[in-house]
Chain A
C-alpha cells in the first residue's frame, strides 16, 4: 500500500480515504502492464535462440542464453535498410512539400483578406473529413495516369496539401503581433520575405508539432503504398514488414518476425521516449491526422 499512499499524496486531504479512485488506479496499473506485454514478448522472443524450441516461444521469461541470431536472420531475409530508406524518403518528401504549402496557405488565411475567403476555408475543412484512405481507388487511377504508378512520388502526392497543417499554421501566424510585420514592411520587405524571415522563424513550435504528426502517420501508412508500389525495392517499411511476416510465418520463425518488428518500430519508440512531452502535446493538437 506504500504505492497507494504515494499515488494519493497530492490529492485533497479529505478525499485520500476514498476507495474508488484507488481501485481505478490499480486497474489502470494492471492494464498498463497488460498493454506492455506484446512489446515485452517482442524483445524476449527476439533474443531467444531457436534451440529453445517452439513450445517455449511464448515464455515471457528471457532465455538463459540470449542470442542475436534472430536479428541477423531478419536483417538477411528482409531488405530492411532499403525499406527504411524508402520510408524516410517518403516521409521527408511529404514533409518538405507540406511545409511550403501549409505555410503559404496558412499565411493567406491568417493575414490576408480576399474574395471568397469563407468558401475556400470550408473547401480546406472538407479535406479533414474526406479521409484520403477512402479515396484510394480514384487516386490510384490518377497516379497511374500521371505516370507515377510504382514510384515513391506517387505514394507522396496525395498528402502534399494538408488542411490540418494549414489550420495549425493559421493559428500560429495569427498569434504573431502585426507590429513586427509592419516594421519589416516599412523596411521594404516583400510578402515572401516577410513570411520567410518573420512568420516562419517565430512558428517553429507549431512546425515541429506538425512534423511529428505528419511523420508518424506516414511512417505507419500501409494500404496506400501497398496499392501504388509494385517493385520490391521500392517498398516502405510497413509493406516490407507485411511481406517479411508472410514469408517467416510459413516457416514458423517467430523469433525472426519479432526481430523484424523490433527493427521497424525501434526507431519510433526510441524517438518517442526521448521527445515524449512533445509527442504527447502534438498528438493532442492533432485530433484528426
Chain B
C-alpha cells in the first residue's frame, strides 16, 4: 500500500483535470455502448468457444487425473513431456509432416495446372471446372466410403483395372508402408479443385496486354509462365499454402473412417492422436498438452496468415 501513496498525491492536487479525463472517457464509452451491445452476441460465443477454449487447453494441460474418477492434481509440464516422450505422438507428428507436404505440393501443383488450362471461360472449361470441383463439396466421410472400395484388395476399382498391368499389387490400406500415401491420394483428389478456384481468381489479375507484348517479344509459353504469371500469382500461392497446411492438420476425417490410424500407427495423424487420448483413453491432460503443442506449432503459420488476411481484409 505504501507504493500507492505517492501516486495518490497528484490526484489530490489536480483533481479537476483528472476528473475531466474520466468524464471524457465515460462519454466516449457511453457513445460506444451501442457498438458493444451489437458485438455482445458474437463476443459471448467467441469468449466461450474460442478464447475460453484456448485458456482451458492451457489449464487442462497442467493438470492430471490418476484414474478417470480421481480428483485432478497439478502436474506442471508433466503432460507436455509425457506427450513428447510418447512414440505414438512423435510418430503422428512425422506422419503429419509427410502428409502435409505430400498433399499440399501435388494438390497445389495440380490446381495451378487446372487453372491455367481452364482460365478461358467457355462451355467446355466450365464443365471441366465443375467436374474438378465436385469432390470439394462432398463430406470427407462420403469420399472415404467411395475410396474404401477403390482401395479394396483384389476386387476393388484400383486392383480391378490396374491389376491387369501390374503383376504384384500392394494392399493399399493394409500395408504400413503404403497406407499413408493412399490416404494422401484422397486428400489431393478432394482439395485440388478448391485451390484451383483461387488460382483462377489470381489469373484474372494477369494483364492480357503484358502477355501479348511478351509474346510479340518472342517469349514462349514457358517464359511467359515463369516471368509474368508466376510473379503475379505470388500472393495466391502464399494464401493457398496456408490453407493447405491448415487442412493437413484439421481435415483428417478419412483417417477416422478408413484406417483408425493403423496399420501399426502408420496413418496416425496429430488430430487423431488428440481424439484418441481424449475419447478412448479419457486422458484430457495429455490430449490438451498435444492440442497445445499443435496450436503452438501452427503459430508461425498463423502469424503469416494473420498478416496475409489482415491485408486482405484491409484492417479495421
Query: Which of the residues B129, B155, B221, B310 comes within 8 Å of A280, measured between beta carbons?
Result: B129
For B257, the closest partner residue in chain A by CB is A242
B34, A32: Cβ atoms closer than 8 Å: no
Residues of B within 8 A of A138 (CB): 52-54, 56-57, 60, 288, 291
B146, A261: Cβ atoms closer than 8 Å: yes
Of B42, B130, B278, the most chain A CB neighbours within 10 A belong to B42
Residues of A within 8 A of B253 (CB): 222-223, 238
B145, A142: Cβ atoms closer than 8 Å: no
| Residue interface mask A107-147, B partner, CB < 8 A = 1 | 11100111111101101111111111111111111100000
Q: How many residues of B contact A (CB 8 A)?
A: 107
| Residue interface mask A49-87, B partner, CB < 8 A = 1 | 000001101111000000000000000000000000000
Of B60, B114, B146, the most chain A CB neighbours within 10 A belong to B146
Residues of A within 8 A of B295 (CB): 130, 134
| Residue interface mask B297-316, A partner, CB < 8 A = 1 | 01000100110011011011
| Residue interface mask B190-204, A partner, CB < 8 A = 1 | 000110011011000
A265, B113: Cβ atoms closer than 8 Å: no
B146, A222: Cβ atoms closer than 8 Å: no
A114, B32: Cβ atoms closer than 8 Å: yes
B189, A35: Cβ atoms closer than 8 Å: yes
Query: Which of the residues B116, B132, B135, B198 comes within 8 Å of A284, measured between beta carbons?
Result: B198
B51 at the A interface (CB under 8 A): yes
For B135, the closest partner residue in chain A by CB is A35
A128 to chain B, nearest CB (A): 6
A37, B157: Cβ atoms closer than 8 Å: yes
Which of B2-10, B14-22, B73-81, B120-128 lies at the interface? B120-128
Residues of A within 8 A of B136 (CB): 283
Given A130-B295, A142-B53, A32–B128 Cβ distance below 8 Å?
yes
Residues of B within 8 A of A273 (CB): 130
B212 at the A interface (CB under 8 A): yes
A184 at the B interface (CB under 8 A): no
A272, B137: Cβ atoms closer than 8 Å: yes
Query: Which of the residues B31, B49, B239 comes within 8 Å of A135, measured between beta carbons?
Result: B49
Residues of B within 8 A of A116 (CB): 32
B220, A125: Cβ atoms closer than 8 Å: no
Given A166-B42, A222-B139, A128–B309 Cβ distance below 8 Å?
yes
B123 to chain A, nearest CB (A): 10
A24 at the B interface (CB under 8 A): yes
Question: What is the bound-complex CA distance between A134 and B259, given in angstroms?
Answer: 20
B111 to chain A, nearest CB (A): 11
Given A107-B38, A222-B253, A129–B284 Cβ distance below 8 Å?
no
Residues of B within 8 A of A269 (CB): 134, 137-138
B49, A142: Cβ atoms closer than 8 Å: yes
Residues of B within 8 A of A264 (CB): 139, 141-142
Query: Which of the residues A24, A161, A191 comes within 8 Å of B45, measured between beta carbons?
Result: A161
B52, A142: Cβ atoms closer than 8 Å: yes
Given A108-B35, A288-B243, A257–B42 Cβ distance below 8 Å?
no
Which of A10-18, A175-183, A203-211 lies at the interface? A10-18
Residues of B within 8 A of A193 (CB): none
Query: Which of the residues A117, A125, A157 comes within 8 Å of B310, measured between beta carbons?
Result: A125
Given A37-B157, A41-B157, A287-B239, A112–B35 Cβ distance below 8 Å?
yes
A-B pairs with beta carbons under 8 Å apart, 6 shown: A15-B215, A104-B39, A113-B31, A135-B50, A138-B57, A162-B42
Known: A134-B271, A191-B34. 13 other contacts (CB 8 A): A6-B124, A35-B131, A58-B161, A113-B32, A113-B35, A118-B316, A121-B316, A123-B46, A124-B46, A130-B53, A136-B274, A142-B52, A287-B198
Which B residues contact A (CB, under 8 angstroms)? 28-29, 31-32, 34-36, 38-39, 41-46, 48-54, 56-57, 60, 110, 113-114, 116-118, 120, 122, 124, 126, 128-150, 152, 155-157, 159-161, 189, 193-194, 197-198, 200-201, 212, 215-216, 220-222, 239, 243, 246, 249-250, 253, 256-257, 271, 274-275, 278-279, 284, 287-288, 291, 294-295, 298, 302, 305-306, 309-310, 312-313, 315-316
Which A residues contact B (CB, under 8 angstroms)? 3, 6-7, 10-12, 14-15, 18, 20-21, 24-25, 27-29, 31-33, 35-39, 41-42, 45, 54-55, 57-60, 100-102, 104-105, 107-109, 112-118, 120-121, 123-142, 157-158, 160-163, 166-167, 191, 216, 219-220, 222-223, 226-227, 237-239, 241-242, 245, 249, 254, 257-258, 260-261, 264-265, 268-269, 272-273, 276, 279-280, 283-284, 287-288
